[in-house]
């Protein structure tokens, strides 16, 4: 009888974890690769520190992020590309995700700009000050340059879509991955349907920006990632096949990023994240 109760409780517990896991599919499936109409998200880690965010700004969803509330960086952001020509915008102000701190309601689902003194209370995400004078920039995970409208570009300026990167690494990533990958997409993909893209990071072993909260310094504040990676998947412009490719850059070296198949990337990420299996497009 007692065992039964324990099993029941365990069952309920895993059920509530699974609900969190399912919310990408429920609330913003549009940003994820589909296979025969089945929504395929990249692997979602189940530890409770990971939160699925459907990024909501000015009344619309613009992309999705799996966020690590303890390391205060994303695991990945997922988004689509649809070949719309859009103008560049100035850098927007950096916003935060209210629902990581508060109970979820319909009134706080939009990302928000806070005053510096209001940010001091943020426990489950990075704030602007954490990066200030750290020697690191807020490296976009979903890049502004891939945004398809002013609003979508502005929506990329949320701290839940950023991870510490040196300016040098940021520039190199733009030149060696963001620009060539977009050219590859334009060369390979059918422009009448969505291209699915995921960009992510792998945390650094023991590399952190120290942060301050409530007057106290936290040494392991914001993790400085070791790797940035990106992958796309689309319908070929020439036939019914799927085109895909991926990149991964080790931030600790001056070497150019590796250009690899999505299958190879999955193998690398499975090792790097130290999980049974990691898969970007299922
Ligand atoms: C990335 O940054 C590290 C540390 O500043 C530097 O040693 C390395 O050369 C950089 N790599 C690239 C490709 O910019
Ligand atoms: C990466 O590899 C793909 C497939 O081999 C190729 O089409 C693409 O041009 C390469 N990208 C770069 C930046 O070298």
For a mutational test of ligand 1's pocket, the pick from 177, 225, 253, i.e. the residue with the most ligand atoms closer than 8 A to its C-beta, is 253
The Cα diameter of the chain in Å comes to: 65
For a mutational test of ligand 2's pocket, the pick from 245, 246, 264, i.e. the residue with the most ligand atoms closer than 8 A to its C-beta, is 245
**Which region holds residue 59: left if phi is over 0, alpha if psi is between -120 and 50, else beta?**
left
CA 251, 256, 260, 264 torsion: positive or negative? negative
Ligand whose nearest atom lies closest to the CA of 207: 1
Pairing of strands 38-39, 50-57: unpaired
Measured from the Cβ of residue 7, the count of other Cβ atoms closer than 10 Å reads 10
Please give the model's pTM, rounded to 2 decimal places: 0.92
What is the pLDDT at residue 262?
98
Ligand 1: centre distance to CA 165 (Å): 9
What is the pLDDT at residue 116?
87
What is the pLDDT at residue 268?
98
List the domains of the chain with CATH numbers.
Answer: 22-273 (3.40.570.10)
Tell which residue, 139, 138, 148, has the closest CA to residue 185: 148
Ligand 1: centre distance to CA 25 (Å): 36
Count of alpha carbons within 13 angstroms of residue 85, beta-carbon side = 0
What is the pLDDT at residue 265?
98
CA–chain centroid gap for 184, Å, is: 21
Ligand whose nearest atom lies closest to the CA of 256: 1
Give nearest CA residue, ligand 2 atom 8.
Answer: 184
Which ranges of the chain does DSSP label H, i.e. alpha helix? 2-27, 116-119, 128-131, 150-155, 167-173, 179-188, 262-273
Ligand 1: centre distance to CA 249 (Å): 10
Ligand 1: centre distance to CA 196 (Å): 28
Name all residues whose Cβ lies below 6 A of ligand 2. Answer: 180, 184, 245, 259
CA dist., res. 31 & res. 53, Å (int): 12
What is the pLDDT at residue 193?
95
Q: What is the pLDDT along the chain (282 residues), one digit of tens a residue?
A: 344 444 444 434 333 322 233 589 989 999 999 988 899 999 999 899 999 999 999 999 999 999 999 999 999 999 999 999 899 999 999 999 999 998 888 888 899 999 988 888 899 999 999 999 999 999 999 999 999 999 999 999 999 999 999 999 999 999 999 999 999 999 999 999 999 999 999 999 999 999 999 889 999 999 999 999 999 999 999 999 999 999 999 999 999 999 999 999 999 999 999 999 999 998
Count of alpha carbons within 13 angstroms of residue 170, beta-carbon side = 18
């Amino acid at each position: 009888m007692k065992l039964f109760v324990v099993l029941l409780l365990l069952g309920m517990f895993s059920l509530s974890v699974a609900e969190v896991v399912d919310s990408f599919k429920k609330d913003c499936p549009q940003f994820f690769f589909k296979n025969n109409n089945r929504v395929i998200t990249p692997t979602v880690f189940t530890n409770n520190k990971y939160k699925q965010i459907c990024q909501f700004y000015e009344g619309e969803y613009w992309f999705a992020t799996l966020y690590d509330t303890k390391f205060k960086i994303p695991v990945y952001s997922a988004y689509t590309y649809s070949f719309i020509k859009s103008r560049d915008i100035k850098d927007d102000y950096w916003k935060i995700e209210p629902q990581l701190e508060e109970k979820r309601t319909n009134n706080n689902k939009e990302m928000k700009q806070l005053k510096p003194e209001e940010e001091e209370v943020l426990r489950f995400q990075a704030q602007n000050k954490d990066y200030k004078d750290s020697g690191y920039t807020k490296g976009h995970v979903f890049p502004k340059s891939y945004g398809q409208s002013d609003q979508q570009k502005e929506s990329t300026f949320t701290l839940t879509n950023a991870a510490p990167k040196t300016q040098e690494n940021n520039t190199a990533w733009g030149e060696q991955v963001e620009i060539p990958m977009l050219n590859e997409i334009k060369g390979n993909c059918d422009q009448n349907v969505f291209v699915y893209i995921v960009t992510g990071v792998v945390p650094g072993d023991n590399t952190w920006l120290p942060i301050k909260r409530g007057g106290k310094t936290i040494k392991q504040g914001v993790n400085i990632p070791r790797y940035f990676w990106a992958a796309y998947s689309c319908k070929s412009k020439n036939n019914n096949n799927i085109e895909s490719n991926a990149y991964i850059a080790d931030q600790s070296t001056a070497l150019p990023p590796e250009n690899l198949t999505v299958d190879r990337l999955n193998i690398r990420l499975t090792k790097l994240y130290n999980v049974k299996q990691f898969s970007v497009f299922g």
